[in-house]
A and B are shown apart, each in its own frame.
Chain A
């Protein structure tokens, strides 16, 4: 390999790794989970979080046919019901992972409730809420991160299915 090619190669590697680092930070760092399989993720610097249900939950629930979402401005405490989902057979409540004030609901779900099944972490999000600093900073303590949640799922694999 010539010196210039080597230089180029090294640069590519360097460039590549920097980019990957950025993606990791932005996408994977901040999703926390509850034991009831809701997830929450800080999405901006205005203390706004996005909330949805996990891949496991959507799979256990089956095809979601209808979803009832809260009013914008509703102030909800942790563990309070913020949404009710109806799948082909069951009605299931979803519970707030943190205290917060609902700032936005996913309007697309009103006509395409199945987005929750197709894309639980992205297009199938349920609501956005404004949380205070304490709730934001405590998420790592009160909730499970990706690794802990995986462990939790593994441990409860044999528990009742839906």
Chain B
């Protein structure tokens, strides 16, 4: 059991496709592995359809919450920064964990780009924002979290995702109604790697990354590669997983914002702080403030939408 916490140059591939489980696994490994200087942990994982927002983002501004619920697409907030992304089984997640001192995003990205370019005859390049582009199309963006002793850098690779579902899920009608200091996503045109070279598959990419990872790190012991079932570590990971699944972390960790609806041609401004409605400005005679003040915004979201229509 303890072997998954061994340090050194290692590759782990998660058998789970649940976004909450995988985010919890990532955090659990990052926090508990004895990271040795000059070594890296590579964690590879993928999820059933879901939308993942950055640590300081507003899920209402970044995705279509109603659509996600209808289609049973999971919505999660991660611990790292950056913008919102859509995941499905055609989107590979790559996490690279190092000590805080060895954290270097550019090195990681150049390794990925060179490896993929060489193997699949592509022309990927890294941008100033640490995104990976193929011509003018984005195939991944970077996000990271720096802690006192360790740091992780993760990004996705669009291999053969359903881009229509991606666009539909990330379309937000609320975006224009929300004013806040939350981190906005930088929206870009996206492309699947398989659309450029149809021999690229999820399985081939994983096999390639594992092989090249050990070469990159000058690691002779190439047996340090394991498929792991996070369920076996449920007890150790459950605090992270429960937090990630909670409505509190998903909604109340949103930076303060103001949501403006138009009610009988009058704008009504709803201020939300820590997920709770703290103030309502607008036509007092129409709205029954006490139905909203002090309530959780996400809990009364449905009723707020009704205000908008009448």
Contacts and interface: CB of A to CB of B under 8 A. Distances in A.
Contact of B81 (A91, A95, A110, A160): A91
B297 interface: no
Contacts of A161: 104, 106
Interface string A38-65: 0000000000000000000000000001
Interface string B140-151: 001111111000
The B contact surface, by secondary structure, is loop
Interface string A101-116: 0000000001101000
A87 B81 contact: yes
B80 A90 contact: yes
Contacts of A26: none
B181 A111 contact: yes
Given A65-B183, A162-B105, A93 B148 contact: yes
B37 to A, nearest CB: 10
Contact of B146 (A79, A90, A111): A90
Interface residues of B, number: 27
Nearest to A61: B146
B102 A160 contact: yes
B148 A95 contact: yes
A160 B181 contact: no
Interface in A59-99: 65-66, 68, 79, 81, 86-93, 95
Nearest to A161: B104
Interface string B111-122: 000000000000
B255 A66 contact: yes
The winner among A65, A86, A90 for most chain B CB atoms within 10 A is A90
Contacts of A95: 148
Given A88-B129, A160-B101, A93 B181 contact: no
Nearest to B255: A66
Contacts of B240: none
Given A113-B181, A160-B103, A90 B144 contact: yes
Nearest to A65: B183
A66 B103 contact: no
Contacts of A10: none
Contacts of A148: none
Interface string A131-162: 00000000000000000000000000001111
A130 B144 CA distance: 32
A154 to B, nearest CB: 16
Contacts of B81: 86-91
A89 B144 contact: yes
Given A90-B80, A160-B103, A65 B56 contact: yes
Given A65-B56, A66-B181, A86-B81, A91 B146 contact: yes
A93 B79 CA distance: 11
B148 A89 contact: no
Contacts of A11: none
B83 to A, nearest CB: 9
B182 interface: yes
Interface string B170-188: 0000000000011100000
A64 to B, nearest CB: 10
A79 B79 CA distance: 20
B148 A91 contact: no
B275 interface: no
A162 B100 CA distance: 10
Contacts of A68: 56
A36 interface: yes
Given A36-B148, A65-B183, A89 B130 contact: yes
Contacts of A162: 103-105
B56 A66 contact: yes
Nearest to A81: B148
Given A89-B142, A90-B80, A160-B101, A110 B130 contact: no
A33 to B, nearest CB: 16
Contacts of B146: 90-93
Which 5 pairs of residues, A with B, have the shortest CB-CB distance?
A: A92-B146, A91-B81, A90-B144, A66-B56, A160-B104
